[in-house]
Amino acid sequence: MDFEQMKEQFLALLSNKSLALATISQPRQKSNELKRVKLKPIELKGVYMIQLEYQYERILKHENIPLHAFNEHWDKLLEQFRQIHAAFADQTIHIQLSKKNKVLWKSDQQSTAKEINLSHNRKKQYLLDADTPYPFLIRLGVQTEDGKVKKQKYDKFKQINRFVEFIDDSLVYLPKDRQIRILDFGSGKSYLTFALYHYLKIEKGYNIRVTGLDLKKEVIEDCNRIAKDLSYDDLEFLVGDINDYNEESHVDMVVTLHACDVATDMALARAVKWGAQVILSVPCCQHELNRQLNSPALDVMIQHGLIRERFASLATDAIRAELLSLVGYDTQLLEFIDMENTPKNILIRAYYTGKKATKEQRTNYDDFVSFLHATPFLQKELSTLLAD
């Protein structure tokens, strides 16, 4: 079999839609940063496609190609690599190419045809793949050494991926021509801080500097050790309180996860005053409004402690979102997966657009807080901007 026949025969096998998985490897040039490419069939919106996973030294990239458009990509791959190993429904083939493209083709027929179940490929397509080893997830105990997600950590893996989706959605609002400054208030064990750094720095190649801030000295020391072990040179963790952190004049992204009560408001106010383009906040323990509520029209509902607490939490986050909108942010309240399965799973996502609020928006906000007899902490913190 010559080189052209090999190309045509492999494409003919692909056209039968019987591919299970293929790996293309052995770069022709040692200097090639692309180490291997994996192929697998997926179905997106009813269309059969080949997903290419490009594996670099520290970066993974994905591309989905309709089957009819795969030929051009096939040619480019063969220009770069010399080995193909592919599993099809009825056979496994191994192709080895010499420097001059002499072909060695080996095929092992399967005694029983293997069913290619595309429903498996319709599962959630995570930005961080469940079958790919990530050094930071291994180091944090979410994955085993061979890259399998631990059963007891699967909720955490889903939470991390949900957070990475929010980061990915935010990319358009981040600067491209300079280093991006990111602060994470209340970083704790820092699963999501490490995920943020990995995705932006390793996967996307952004120039970033990230600081995680938390009060627990032992946790901070452990996070710094992990960052050093992973060679995450632009990631640091500091012991400190949100209210006492005055080291910045401008920040591009502020993350605050489960900062308790008005600590969330402190972080949001700092983010606004620093001119943050992106704010991601998961609030916690919203007690302030609960203490202030004094609206007889709500007594039928808030006479019950449980209902009062839940209403106060929801109203607090609605107020926070509206205040951010009033000072120029496009703000949404979104569901966020929480690994402890608590109701504290609302994420405030705000992108700065500079859009001026209308008089109607301000009137509606004032009427709402007046109805509740509330004076929110964040409103006081942003009073100067709200007066403009």
For 131-169, the pLDDT digits (tens) are 888 999 999 999 998 888 999 998 889 889 989 999 998
Q: Tell me, what's the pLDDT at 342?
A: 45
Q: pLDDT at residue 121 above 80?
A: no
Q: Is domain 135-386 classified as CATH 3.40.50.150? A: yes
Cα-only R_g, the chain: 26
Compare 240 and 251 and report the one with higher pLDDT. 251
pLDDT grade for 208, boundaries at 50, 70 and 90:
very high
Could you tell me the pTM of the whole model?
0.67
pLDDT grade for 105, boundaries at 50, 70 and 90:
very high
Kindly report the number of other CB atoms within 10 A of residue 112's CB atom. Answer: 7
pLDDT grade for 58, boundaries at 50, 70 and 90:
low
Task: Indicate the range of 47-51, 123-127, 207-211, 280-284 predicted with least confidence.
Answer: 123-127
- CA gap 37, 53 in Å, rounded: 5
Q: Tell me, what's the pLDDT at 341?
A: 44
Residues in the chain: 388
Where exactly does CATH 3.40.50.150 map onto the chain?
135-386
Task: Indicate the range of 116-120, 197-201, 368-372 predicted with least confidence.
Answer: 116-120
Residue type, 161: N
Token digits of residue 259? 């900062």
Sheet of 103-109, strands arranged across: 60-66, 47-56, 34-44, 19-27, 81-88, 91-97, 103-109
Cα dihedral across residues 153, 148, 59, 73: positive or negative: negative
pLDDT grade for 7, boundaries at 50, 70 and 90:
very high
Q: What is the mean pLDDT of the chain?
A: 88
pLDDT tens digits, 317-364: 999 999 999 999 999 998 886 444 445 578 999 999 999 999 999 999
Q: Over range 157-185, report the average pLDDT.
A: 91
pLDDT grade for 255, boundaries at 50, 70 and 90:
very high
